[in-house]
Amino acid sequence: MAERMLQFVRLQQRQPEKRDAAERRRDFGEIYADFDPERASQQSSRCSQCGVPFCSVHCPLNNNIPDWLKLTAENRLEEAYEVSAATNTFPEVCGRVCPQDRLCEGNCVIEKGFESVTIGAVERYITDTAWEKGWVKPPVPVRETERSVGIVGAGPAGLAAAERMRRRGWQVTVYDRHDRVGGLMIYGIPNFKLEKEVILRRWKLFEEAGIRFELGFEIGRDASLAELRDRHDAILIATGVYRARDVEVPGNDLNGVVRALDFLIASNRQGLGDAVPEFDSGALNAAGKRVVVIGGGDTAMDCVRTSIRQGAASVTCLYRRDKANMPGSMREVKNAEEEGVRFSWLAAPKFFLGEAGTVTGVQAVRMHLGLPEATGRQQVEPIPGSEYTEPADLVIKALGFDPEDLPEMFGEPGLRVSRWGTLQVDHRTMMTSIPGVFAAGDIVRGASLVVWGIRDGRDAADRIEHWHEKQSAVAQAAE
């Protein structure tokens, strides 16, 4: 082991420099500066190179984190990138948006007492350097085959599968109803967490590799699922989940009560230079408004921090549990607090107030934590007589996402779904109820993280190839 490792006893944890909160409130630029080579090497050298790397164990991709930390500490960056890219289709994305405090860094062996290694920042540094140096190459196959796959959805799962299958020589076509590649990475995540060029350059790279994209394409409108099956040897459904969960309270139909994804898509499209009438009219624009965001996940944090940057008069996050029980990243909560977001913990909406059809406030009630649910989380119950009013000109509901009705949308009643509306698959093969049609990502597991989408997409590619080889062997035996 190199002498430069195990430096956690000598060097303190240092994240990349973070822009001042007053400065970053004024734009949508990423808030963290890049590591310089010396700082990246020093922070990587803090790794303990432990025998059982819990950082890798708790990474959905099982990234070989200690290996590329060691290579970075030794300034062998091209090798570090090769190790990182071997298990991760989008390391530059995961380095930016993964909740490392809950995954790899939160399970770092040295975290208790010495603070964790800055894994996410180093991962981002390695891959950004690789792009700058030209080490990132299109996934061109060594040998072409006639095998063809159609992938429905250009989000993390679909793109991860596309890259893996193209590298193995498959003819890959990705269908998506949006006009850009990336799914929620392009339209859902704000620039201050993930600048759009990071996704757009991967899109260009995939096209250079021969992956075809048919955008603005909807199954059920432009082609049926049966027609797609006739075009390809296999189909992968990786549409994600886009139907917003709602809160059934009086006043839900008032003007100014909007869904989180509508708000974020409008902001991202406007930043990309698109014409967005709802943004220009103010319907999906927080400028000058008193904003209340309902929810406590990462989407809620994206909404409150976007509202700050749009020039909201005030921003309040209403969450029915306390801070310790928030499902979102604590790092994101801290960033939001620094930027001026006010949190109203243990509070839930009872109804929305309005005048002349437009929202003017949220009538909320204080909650208290009760006994644990089956999941282990504490139940929440309202405190009688604790009602109060949060003034609001814009209310954003960030309560999570459910699957759309794919059998109805696709005109394919044989596509079985679970009681939650997600697609049912055989988890050994990842195949749906229709032979040759597979599914992966959020449409199977429910709304989750980008990193889990990447994992599912890569796994699906392996399962599809195994299934096709088995089908080919059976066909040859029958001849």
pLDDT in tens, 250-308: 999 999 999 999 999 999 999 999 999 999 999 999 999 999 999 999 999 999 999 99
Single-letter residue type at 233? D
Residues forming a β-bridge with 351: 363
Does residue 376 surpass a pLDDT of 80?
Answer: no
Model confidence pLDDT, tens digit, residues 127-150: 999 999 999 999 999 999 999 999
CB-count exposure of residue 137 (10 Å: 0-12, 13-18, 19+): exposed
Question: Mean pLDDT, to the nearest integer, of 70-78?
Answer: 96
Percent of the chain whose pLDDT exceeds 70: 99
Rounded mean pLDDT of the chain?
95
Q: What is the pLDDT of residue 377?
A: 79
Q: Delineate the domains of the chain, giving CATH numbers in brackets.
A: 21-133 (1.10.1060.10), 148-242+401-478 (3.50.50.60), 250-397 (3.50.50.60)
Q: Which of 108-117, 142-151, 231-240 has the lowest mean pLDDT?
A: 108-117
The whole-number pLDDT of residue 113 equals 81
**Tens-place pLDDT, residues 433-443:** 999 999 999 99
In the predicted model, what is the mean pLDDT of residues 412-424? 95
Identify the pLDDT of residue 2.
47
pLDDT of residue 303: 98
Residue 1 has pLDDT above 50, yes or no: no
Question: According to the 3-state scheme, what is the secondary structure of the chain?
Answer: CCCCCCHHHCCCCCCCCECCHHHHCCCCCCCECCCCHHHHHHHHCCCCCCCCCHHHHCCCCCCCHHHHHHHHHCCCHHHHHHHHHHHCCCHHHHHHHCCCCCCCHHHCCCHHHHCCCCHHHHHHHHHHHHHHHCCCCCCCCCCCCCCEEEEECCCHHHHHHHHHHHHCCCEEEEEECCCCCCCHHHHCCCCCCCCHHHHHHHHHHHHHCCCEEEECCCECCCECHHHHHHHCCEEEECCCCCEECCCCCCCCCCECEEEHHHHHHHHHHHHCCCCCHHHHCCCCCCCCCEEEEECCCHHHHHHHHHHHHCCCCEEEEECCCCHHHCCCCHHHHHHHHHCCCEEECCEEEEEEEEECCEEEEEEEEEEEEEEECCCCCEEEEECCCCCEEEECCEEEECCCEECCCHHHHHCCCCCCECCCCCECCECCCCECCCCCEEECCHHHHCCCCHHHHHHHHHHHHHHHHHHHHHHHHHHHHHC
Residue 3 confidence (pLDDT):
59
Give the residue among 394, 406, 365 at the shortest CA–CA distance from 382: 365
In the predicted structure, residue 84 carries a pLDDT above the cut 70: yes
| Backbone phi, psi, residue 272, to 5° | -80, -5
Amino acid in position 331: R
Q: How many CB atoms lie within 10 A of CB 253?
A: 10
Model confidence band, residue 375 (pLDDT cutoffs 50, 70, 90): confident
166-201: per-residue pLDDT in tens? 999 999 999 999 999 999 999 999 999 999 999 999
pLDDT at 414: 93
* pTM for the model: 0.94
Instruction: Assess contact for 122 and 28: CB atoms under 8 A.
Output: no
Q: What is the pLDDT of residue 476?
A: 81
